[in-house]
């Protein structure tokens, strides 16, 4: 059974850091591009970052560029989103999603291309 679980969310003060993890079970991540999306209350889902299946290419939303880093460890079947300099506007539920076969290009703005989604992890940035 295919399963994706995000973890690492929580409450952090502005300027703080968190590292989100996305662990897959029942299949291997190596043939999937990984996307991180977020949705804040009353707002549309936003593509935060993505990394190709090859791990060579990444993409970031302008709002997180320079603060967030996406990575993957295929040996651990895990993807990460390291978030620094967190701001209150980063508060949202963060979702990990997988896009099979995207080796050269990943689509942060095309959530319909992602085959599997996790249940999300809550990130709250507040003093």
* 100-127 pLDDT, tens digit each: 988 889 999 999 999 999 999 999 999 9
* 33-60 pLDDT, tens digit each: 999 999 999 999 999 999 999 999 999 9
Q: Are 16 and 4 in contact (CB under 8 A)?
A: no
Confidence at 2, pLDDT banded by 50, 70, 90: confident
DSSP per residue, 56-122: S-EEE-TTTTTTEEEEEEGGGTEEEEEE-S--GGG-EEEEEEEEET-SS---TT-GGG--EE---EE
Closest CA to 45 of 82, 87, 97: 97
């Amino acid at each position: 059974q295919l399963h994706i679980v995000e973890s690492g969310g929580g409450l952090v003060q502005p300027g703080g850091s968190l590292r989100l993890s996305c662990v897959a079970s029942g299949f291997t991540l190596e043939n999937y591009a990984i996307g991180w999306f977020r949705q804040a209350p009353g707002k549309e889902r936003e593509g935060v970052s993505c990394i190709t299946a090859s791990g060579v290419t990444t993409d970031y939303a302008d709002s997180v560029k320079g603060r967030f880093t996406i990575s993957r460890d295929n040996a651990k079947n895990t993807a990460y989103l390291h978030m620094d300099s967190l701001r209150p506007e980063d508060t949202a539920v963060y979702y990990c999603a997988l896009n099979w076969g995207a080796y050269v290009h990943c689509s942060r703005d095309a959530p319909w291309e992602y085959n599997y989604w996790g249940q999300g992890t809550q990130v709250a940035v507040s003093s």
